[in-house]
Amino acid sequence: MLRRIDLSGEVPGYSARALRELMPRAAFDVNEALRSVQPLIDDIRHRGTAAVVEIVERFDHVRLEHLRVPAEAIKTAVEELDPDLRRAYQTSIDRVRAAHEAQRLPEVVTEVAPGGTVTERYLPVDRVGLYAPGGLAVLASSVIMNAVPAQIAGVGSIALASPSQKNNNGLPDQGILAVAGMLGIDEVYSVGGPAAIGMFAYGTDECAPVDMITGPGNIYVTAAKRAVRGLVGIDAEAGTTEIAVIADATADPAHVAADLISQAEHDPAAASVLITDSADLADAVDAELVRRVPDTRHAGRIQTALAGEQSGTILVADIDEAVAVADAYAAEHLEIQTADAREVALRVRNAGAIFVGAYSPVSLGDYCAGSNHVLPTGGCARHSAGLSVHTFLRGVHIIDYSREALEVVAADVVAFANSEDLPSHGEAVSVRFEAK
């Protein structure tokens, strides 16, 4: 079922870069998408609301009279929410809030010399725009994952955008509206895709521009975020979802297969990768995939994802090689289904999130683990982290020196300045000690 790459015993002979080039990976050409998206962003920049309305009608086939969702629609979505789903939403909110509260950063004052201090304060951005996808999968869970960390960080103004749904009178999905209401977010827009990103970046007569945009989306949303990056902050340029599973002979092939399928369900370009030192397990997982995929609701989408160049099984000689391969791949989601799974997990350096053992599947993290599911893709876990409270904070240094403290270091500043041919920098210090 999954194509195989046999690296057994060869991994130590490859550099990290060479290993990365061998990994299954989806093609993700943001620059190509940007060529289609840039004119839309430019149109919103110049024409505001009128451009947003036209773009929404063109792509979502809904003609909006107002971009903003009426407060009554949000209230109704909460009131009409199925009790079981409301409980699930609340469980997710509570656990995400509990896990992210620990990410708060205290103010730190450091006395670097007598009379000289540097204080680091962590200040939230003033206003953020959160994006919740509404395409192949409508992700109410993403509202929780974006909004809760922003609220904990202390962001004062939060706006949410999600695509219009023809089957909901042009409003975003009812689940997304209900979660927004449960979180106290009353500024919601029926705008999706690049139009939402342009609206947030440049503003309209209904939506004030934001300072930061976060949230997952398709390649066109990613391209739009690239187009406005710098004007606003963004969380990341996220690609299609991916899972890698390190498994040995102790793993249950049914568990592994189910987890690979769960991520393939997202998108035909989703990546599902098995890394194992057991050919027997690989065979058993393939057999489970053959048995299970035809009975899934999204069998066509899943089959396409599993058969794509972005998915596959990588055979290695042992768990040491498996960890090296996993670090080279730097998966968005990495499961460890091995003997001593936690010990193996602690050896991994590159992953967006790591799921340990048979009872910590990625699906748990998607909804109710307490962790965040907005994670780096495409190997970016080598240098970037997932969305968190820190995403919405800026560290600001406050420098406070007395006259005596500055005088101690004045000669050093002058020496530095002169060495860099910036003598006026030095004079800005020495002038303070000239006789009057």
Q: Does residue 333 have a known ligand-binding role?
A: yes
Q: Are 117 and 109 in contact, with CB atoms under 8 Å apart? A: yes
Return d(Cα 164, Cα 423) in angstroms, integer: 59
One-letter identity of residue 168: N
Other beta carbons within 10 Å of 85: 14
332 carries an active-site annotation: yes
61 carries an active-site annotation: no
Return d(Cα 29, Cα 16) in angstroms, integer: 23
Q: Does residue 54 have a known ligand-binding role?
A: no
Conformational region of residue 339, where left means phi above 0, alpha means psi within -120 to 50, and beta covers everything else:
beta
Q: Does residue 412 have a known ligand-binding role?
A: no
Distance of CA 329 to the CA centre of its chain: 17
State the residue for tokens 């809030």: 97
- For residue 357, give the DSSP letter: S
The catalytically annotated residue of 100, 255, 298, 333 is 333
Q: Does residue 434 have a known ligand-binding role?
A: no
Return d(Cα 421, Cα 120) in angstroms, integer: 30
The catalytically annotated residue of 187, 237, 332, 335 is 332
Going along 204-267, which residue ranges are E strands?
212-214, 233-234, 242-247
Q: Does residue 174 have a known ligand-binding role?
A: no
**For residue 283, what are its two tokens?**
């065979």
Return d(Cα 73, Cα 412) in angstroms, integer: 63
Q: Does residue 298 have a known ligand-binding role?
A: no
Q: Does residue 241 have a known ligand-binding role?
A: yes
Q: How far apart are the first and last CA of the chain?
A: 84
Annotated binding site: 241, 263, 266, 333, 366, 420, 425
Catalytic residues: 332-333
Annotated binding site for substrate: 241, 263, 266, 333, 366, 420, 425
Annotated binding site for Zn(2+): 263, 266, 366, 425
